[in-house]
Structure 1
């Protein structure tokens, strides 16, 4: 039986690595894309059916070369997971154009470039695209003028892809993670921030990288064969609560 092939960007750590490992457990081959060569080499060590490729998704030439290598090695592509991203938070008045572009070139341009380059292969396989945005693209928050705007644009790009590529059998969906218990988040979130998130999330906890990966892999699978153009907030209910006060829960 020919194994299906997925390409995961930002695969050296976090949600990307968790998604890679779940694909492998589900019997897929995975092309692991990341621009951090040492981290990618370490992450891919010992993973059978994983092909690590160093690539900066914001650079068109590198993207084209990576897609060519995947096609040449695996003979095709069945799923593209656009997970690579940078999180650069700061006050709106301190966000100059260089900082804005640094966020946009990876978070938005990278999704566009990877998707455009992979479309011919996905047309041939009638495959799927899953773009990773964020709840910051669904609801505004302080310090996220570039990050949140980039993720909102990814959500709209996903809808455009679903509308235009559906006739070729390509499905496009978007996953918007909420607060996830990554090593980085736990290192930078103060106890006060962690407590505030727990109070604001109906499930009263952070999500895990594996929980986000489960949603991504499902959307790439035949089980989601009639699902396209959807924006899935995998966030413990955070986005659904709006600005409601946690203290009022359960009150008459």
Structure 2
């Protein structure tokens, strides 16, 4: 299938690793001129050939730095992928163990980064009749006891996508959401990451814990999702092949969510 993206420009947030990095790789392979926003320049991101803007997107100034830099580099923005999220301090904390400082950090990074980046990019997206994909999570549909703030933030991201689709669809901008389940990224596999914290709480070694996830999470396909599979879905939704899809929330979780 030809996605016809080779004339497009794109901004991808959280581009240094995981789903963001996979999305940059997928879009550049399709011929898209990509600006990746990240706090750090990883060797893997540098190898993609994308133009990188270093910025902390949990801040107002960081968003301005990214979008101003993208407009200067690209001349205009056709596509936006709001992927940045989770955060280094994501932990499986319940409501009473989540203080206001943690709530603020999680909301700034997972929700307000999407709000601010979309607002800054929309004038160009409207002019070019572009598309946005927001990366949410199945946590928005299956909120567990923890991480409570992350689940709430992602539920808000999903709702925001539908509101943006409704408001800006008549002006030519399509907005969709992708909600992954467990994805093979550093969030789960890093010895200091969220997955490691869950494993420690379960009294298990990380490698053994990761092998047990498909059964423990009732993943129908028997495996966790790969980052490039999520990136492929994002690229499809950004393309003209999906030109009449807007306001949708696509779950990619191997069948973890059992309800409609």
User: Structure 2 length normalisation: TM-score?
Assistant: 0.86
Contact 2:17 2:45 in 1 (8 A): no
> What secondary structure does 2:47 align onto?
coil
Please tell me whether residue 16 in structure 1 is matched to residue 20 in structure 2: yes
Unaligned runs of 5+ in 1: 243-252
1:120 equivalent among 123, 130, 133 = 123
The residue number in structure 1 matching 2:150 is: 147
The residue number in structure 1 matching 2:100 is: 97
Provide the C-alpha distance between the structure 1 equivalents of 2:215 and 2:244, rounded to a whole number of angstroms.
34
| RMSD between superposed Cα atoms in Å | 1.8
2:29 equivalent among 14, 25, 38 = 25
Contact 1:9 1:34 in 2 (8 A): yes
> What secondary structure does 1:71 align onto?
helix
The residue number in structure 2 matching 1:197 is: 214
Q: More displaced, 199-208 or 157-166?
A: 199-208
Matches within 5 A, 1:124-143: 124-143=127-146
Aligned length, in residue pairs: 238
Question: Cα 1:186–1:73, aligned 2, differ >3 Å: closer, same or farther?
Answer: closer
User: Structure 1 length normalisation: TM-score?
Assistant: 0.89
Contact 1:71 1:77 in 2 (8 A): yes
The residue number in structure 2 matching 1:55 is: 55
Provide the C-alpha distance between the structure 2 equivalents of 1:233 and 1:17, rounded to a whole number of angstroms.
19
Provide the C-alpha distance between the structure 1 equivalents of 2:189 and 2:22, rounded to a whole number of angstroms.
17
Contact 1:4 1:78 in 2 (8 A): yes
The residue number in structure 1 matching 2:85 is: 85
Please tell me whether residue 213 in structure 1 is matched to residue 214 in structure 2: no
Contact 1:58 1:113 in 2 (8 A): no
Contact 1:41 1:52 in 2 (8 A): no
The C-alpha deviation readout for 1:27-64, integer Å capped at 9, x for no partner, is 101101012x2xx252332333x110011112222312
Provide the C-alpha distance between the structure 2 equivalents of 1:153 and 1:241, rounded to a whole number of angstroms.
20
Provide the C-alpha distance between the structure 1 equivalents of 2:35 and 2:98, rounded to a whole number of angstroms.
34
Matches within 5 A, 1:37-48: 37=40, 40-48=41-49
